[in-house]
Amino acid sequence: MLKQAAWIAKRVDAKVGDYIGRLPRRRFAIEPVPPELAPFYTGGRGGPGIYLVNTYNLPSRPLYNLTALTLHESSPGHALQMPLAAEAQGLPEFRRYSYISAYGEGWALYSEYLGQEMGMYDTPYDRFGYLTYQMWRACRLVIDTGIHHKGWTREQAQAYLRDNTALSEHEVTTEVDRYIAWPGQALSYYLGELKIIELRHKAEAALGEKFDIRAFHDAILETGSVPLPVLEQRIARFIAEGGKSPWAQEASEQ
């Protein structure tokens, strides 16, 4: 499983420069989740310098979703976005090192979406994995609301996730426990992704042929971790400036 994750990450390396102008200097390692955490941990976790893959109970870890997981947790997801923010010397520290879930998880989920354009889901198996992940994130919106607003029981939440996703029984159990313990966080993924897609469509419509996907992604990533209304303001400025990369002047001086 680790070998397959590494192969997917290397395939991303060959493509990501076509979609993002500035890449972080820091590379990430791919390692298994520590054994003392693995039974209760998510399928993966990415961040500065690390992409953790959960290899506990391997029969419960289907390979069909590994491409989407790797895009989300490694590059262009968390293991790209977070070190890039940390390396941005012009940002205040709270934006370089803090984490606003709607921004961070929104970008990581958008990275799964971007995998379609990057040609990463090149088999029906991979495509199925991406779509099952989309279903899972949609179910989170229902389950989190059900638990924390409508009084759903743990068993109701598990049944809904079991009936409407391709998650294994082990994942159903650990995921619902996570939603119970962390109210609202599960909602941030889709809310953030939908906002980034909305802003991209807005920029594409406004800029027409001037729209540059690399410049747009650079504008998203150069902000560091910000609330979604602040991200909206940043992309409004990106459009007003004609869609220029935030690094355009720096590049011209080199």
Q: Which amino acid is at 48?
A: P
252 pLDDT higher than 90: no
The lowest-confidence range among 1-5, 143-147, 179-183, 247-251 is 247-251
Cα 172 from Cα 182, distance rounded (Å): 15
Q: What is the pLDDT of residue 248?
A: 75
Q: Which amino acid is at 111?
A: S
Q: What is the pLDDT of residue 247?
A: 85
Model confidence over 31-88: pLDDT tens digits?
999 999 999 888 899 999 999 999 999 998 999 999 999 999 999 999 999 999 999 9
CA angle, 91 then 188 then 124, to 5°:
110
Cα 218 from Cα 21, distance rounded (Å): 6
Contacts of 61 (CB under 8 A, 6+ apart): 1, 43, 54, 55, 168
Confidence band of 237 (pLDDT split at 50, 70, 90) = very high
DSSP summary character for residue 184: T
Global pTM reads 0.94
Model confidence over 157-204: pLDDT tens digits?
999 999 999 999 999 999 999 999 999 999 999 999 999 999 999 999
Q: Which of 137, 115, 14, 3 is nearest to 67 (CA)?
A: 115
